[in-house]
Amino acid sequence: MQQIFSFIYKNSHKLLFLLLLGISLGLTIQAHSYHKSKVISSANFVTGGVYEQINSVNEYFHLKTQNDALAKENASLRRMLFNEADTAKAPVVDTIKGVRKVDVVVAKVVKNSYTVPENFLTLDKGATSGIKADMGVVNSQGIVGIVDHTSANYATVVSILNTQSKINAKIKKSNHFGSLVWNGKNTGFVQLIDVPRLASVRKGDTIVTGGQSVIFPANINIGTISKIYTDNETNYYTLEIKLFNDMTNLGYVYVIKSKDREEILTLEKQSQPNE
């Protein structure tokens, strides 16, 4: 027994190193597996508060671009209002439920990262504003990411510039589906993989969200095709997509709350066979 103690005492430096290294490697591995409960995240009181303070100073430097973006969005919304397809026709109401399917929460990006392969954003709204994990985040130009973790007042978002993120997307004119991923290289471009060869794709075609997942509603803008690669071994295209969004400069974003989400998820769970 005494020998064990003296061994521990003699090698305390090495043992402490191995213990702490084990903990940190465990945390790293946990962080790399998508959507496991992450222990260390910036959606907490201390770091969220610090980032909010920093952002309140930074905000002033971007007021002009933010105003421009808001004015443009107002213009496009107004255009939709004036060019309504048929003003005589009454708007279609969901008669069964009588409520809107999608609700939107405005939040501010207090921390943005885009230099590492796995990027996260921090928002200044959290569970008290009704934000939950797996909600979609968009802004006026296109999609931004998916909510990862929430605390009372902050939320972290898996950016689309994250090698772990995978979002259902489609080609606007032909409705062929694919998965949107990022290869970790250029912040202006993402990749759409697994697009069937049957699809007719051309440079400049618009890519929008697919609506197969319950996270994003269909037809939210993503970007345009800039390069087309064909895989000789499989029957799929890989498309290089130029994002509409400038992910390095994000101000206000909208978190999408889908009202039917819970219902769809429980339904899908029921039809899946037990594992």
Binding site for other proteins (CB under 8 A): 12-13, 16-17, 20-21, 23-32, 38, 40-42, 44, 46-47, 50-51, 54, 113-118, 120, 122, 156, 184, 187, 248
> Based on CB atoms, which residue is closest to other proteins, 238 or 258?
238
> Based on CB atoms, which residue is closest to other proteins, 120 or 237?
120
Rounded to a whole number of angstroms, the minimum distance from the CB of residue 116 to other proteins is 6
C-alpha 203/C-alpha 225 separation (Å) is: 5
Rounded to a whole number of angstroms, the minimum distance from the CB of residue 163 to other proteins is 9
Query: Maximum Cα–Cα distance for the chain, whole Å?
Result: 91
Rounded to a whole number of angstroms, the minimum distance from the CB of residue 233 to other proteins is 18
Which DSSP letter does residue 128 get?
G
Distance set, CA 170 to CA 43, 106, 204, 241 (Å): 32, 26, 14, 12
> Based on CB atoms, which residue is closest to other proteins, 58 or 234?
58
Rounded to a whole number of angstroms, the minimum distance from the CB of residue 15 to other proteins is 10
Please identify which residue in the block is written with the tokens 């003003």.
87
Q: Pick the closest to residue 145 from 129, 156, 132, 153 (CA basis).
A: 156
> Based on CB atoms, which residue is closest to other proteins, 120 or 216?
120
Q: Which two tokens stand for residue 7?
A: 């061994």
Please identify which residue in the block is written with the tokens 């943005």.
112
